[in-house]
Amino acid sequence: MFKIAVAGTGYVGLVAGVCFAEVGHNVTCVDIDEKKIELMKKGISPIYEADLEDLMRKNYALGRLDYTTDYKSAYRDADAIFIGVGTPEQPDGSANLTYIATVARQIAETIEKDCLVVVKSTVPVGTNDKVEQFIKDFLVNDVKVEVASNPEFLAQGSAVHDTLHAARIIIGTESKWAEDMLRKIYEPFNLPIVSVSRRSAEMIKYASNDFLALKISYMNDIANLCELVGANIQDVARGMSYDERIGSKFLNAGIGYGGSCFPKDTKALEYLARQHGYELRTIKAAIDVNKDQKTMLYKKACRRLITFNGLKVAALGLTFKPGTDDIREAPSLENIPLLLEQGAEVYAYDPVGADNFKKKFPEGKIGQGTIKYVNDIKDALHDANICFIFTEWTQIKDLKAEDFKKLMKNALVYDGRNIYDVEKMKRAGVEYYSIGRPSSIKAYESEEEVAASNE
């Protein structure tokens, strides 16, 4: 087993470090935030992620996992150092590599033995070449150091499972020594390994994420057309899913993608193409469609209402997807400010994301409107004039059509995740708008279908 240091304790770094410890490696996670380190030593994760805290406590107790702000002690004699720090988006769409550079210099000035540096962060193609040269430029001791690319493909909300049961491990190296070491590090995972060059590994990450983003935007574009021609996007998606060339995943229409990956990675790849004099027209289209899609519900509601001023608005779901407390690029961030500008009284509910949302929108008066956070969905819906659904949390999906009719002053619902059955909502007396679905179901039904829809 190897002695591994991991720089960064966000989604990428912490999950990777914990999972390396879980398969038997000795791991030290490094972060600059002392309070964060102390919490992690107590088994408290800084991110909301299923199963993560259990594995943190287990491997910390076994002595295989530790946390520190002292990067020198962590890097000094590590066999491999994994970089999992953020590469946030800059105003022009490019990736900010400041954190990568900081860690690279710390490594160069600290390591005392031969070491493999592995970049897990999502970085533009060619970055690993620069990181290796940067480390060698500042190298203090006469040791061998190489840089490898090992992009992650985890999904927030299932990150631990995705890491331990990945479809494949991508490793990008420029030497047999680096490839062999990475293969040995990942051997206990017993997963397929795809070994390519560093630049190919960097591109695989972007190409994969951007393809999924493109798939989502395509379905949202088709959904918008479905509304105009009277087709049902869910029927269309079901019919498409049987084609093995298309598959069944990422076919759900809604109000756009968010999170820390798809928005940033599509813009970064589009920027990279422009820097090389090439226009990625498909990716640019995906970005444009997603931007418009996020406020689709608000625009629909504006066509229905004269004003939001003084109306109680229930906002259900604040995170960009269920299973995480991450609100980055969430549709709620686009819609709620628009509602507040119009003087709405927003009652926001999310099972885990409210605290993060409060950091951007503190409870109370904001602009012309007000925002209040509630712990119970029914408190948000009680006497509401209108309801917006931004995230498909189970707690929201469990609501019945009758709940909206019973609790709301005006049963007017705008569902950005197509959670509820159109006809059931109609029969319950709910004025219901969703994405890409007609206002009524097909004119003919079998007796079995009618019975099922009444359950």
Q: Do residues 55 and 189 share a domain?
A: yes
- Which residue among 29, 261, 302, 387 is the active-site one? 261
Residue 423 pLDDT > 50: yes
Q: Decide if 219 is inside a domain.
A: yes
Mean pLDDT of 407-418: 97
Residue 192's region, left for phi above 0, alpha for psi from -120 to 50, else beta, is beta
pLDDT tens for 429-448 read: 999 999 999 864 333 333 44
Q: How many domains does the chain have?
A: 3
Q: What is the CA radius of gyration of the chain?
A: 24
Query: How many CB atoms neighbour CB 398 within 10 A?
Result: 10
What is residue 157's predicted lDDT score, i.e. its pLDDT? 86
Q: Do residues 321 and 409 share a domain?
A: yes
DSSP 24: T
What is residue 438's predicted lDDT score, i.e. its pLDDT? 82
Q: Which range of residues forms the domain containing residue 75?
A: 3-196
Give the domain-ending residue among 274, 293, 312. Answer: 293
- CA nearest to 226, candidates 443, 440, 444, 438: 438
Q: Do residues 151 and 248 share a domain?
A: no
User: Any idea which residue has 């197509």 for tokens?
Assistant: 418
Give the domain-ending residue among 145, 177, 196. Answer: 196
Show the DSSP H helices in 189-261 as ranges: 198-229, 233-241
Report in angstroms the alpha-carbon separations of 163 from 41, 169, 205: 22, 9, 15
Show the DSSP H helices in 281-421 as ranges: 281-293, 296-304, 331-341, 354-360, 377-381, 394-397, 401-407
Is 114:36 a contact under the CB 8 Å cutoff? Answer: no
What is residue 225's predicted lDDT score, i.e. its pLDDT? 96
Query: How many CB atoms neighbour CB 84 within 10 A?
Result: 26
What is residue 439's predicted lDDT score, i.e. its pLDDT? 67
Q: Do residues 231 and 346 share a domain?
A: no
Q: Decide if 266 is inside a domain.
A: yes
pLDDT tens for 155-184 read: 888 999 999 999 999 999 999 999 999 999
Q: Decide if 62 is inside a domain.
A: yes
Q: Do residues 142 and 282 share a domain?
A: no
Q: Do residues 33 and 118 share a domain?
A: yes
What is residue 450's predicted lDDT score, i.e. its pLDDT? 35
Q: State how far the Cα of 41 lies from the Cα of 60, in Å rounded to an integer.
A: 7
Q: Decide if 237 is inside a domain.
A: yes
Q: State how far the Cα of 109 lies from the Cα of 165, in Å rounded to an integer.
A: 35
Q: Do residues 53 and 186 share a domain?
A: yes
Q: Do residues 125 and 30 share a domain?
A: yes
User: Any idea which residue has 């550079």 for tokens?
Assistant: 101
CATH code (residue 152) = 3.40.50.720
pLDDT tens for 8-32 read: 999 899 999 999 999 999 999 999 9
Q: Do residues 18 and 92 share a domain?
A: yes
Catalytic (active site) residue 261: yes
Q: Decide if 445 is inside a domain.
A: no
Report in angstroms the alpha-carbon separations of 197 from 99, 118, 178, 204, 309: 23, 13, 11, 10, 57
pLDDT tens for 230-277 read: 999 999 999 999 999 999 999 999 999 998 889 999 999 999 999 999
Percent share of the chain, pLDDT over 70: 96
pLDDT tens for 289-342 read: 999 999 999 999 999 999 999 999 999 999 999 999 999 999 999 999 999 999
Residue 419 pLDDT > 60: yes
Mean pLDDT of the chain: 94
Question: Where does residue 155 rank: exposed (0-12), middle (13-18), buried (19+ CB within 10 A)?
Answer: middle
Give the domain-ending residue among 153, 170, 196. Answer: 196
Coil, helix or strand at residue 95: strand
Q: Do residues 388 and 420 share a domain?
A: yes
Q: Decide if 448 is inside a domain.
A: no
pLDDT tens for 27-71 read: 999 999 999 999 999 999 999 998 999 999 999 999 999 999 999
What is residue 93's predicted lDDT score, i.e. its pLDDT? 85
Q: Decide if 443 is inside a domain.
A: no
Sequence letter at residue 213: A
Residue 451 pLDDT > 90: no
Q: Do residues 91 and 127 share a domain?
A: yes
Coil, helix or strand at residue 135: helix
Q: Do residues 303 and 388 share a domain?
A: yes
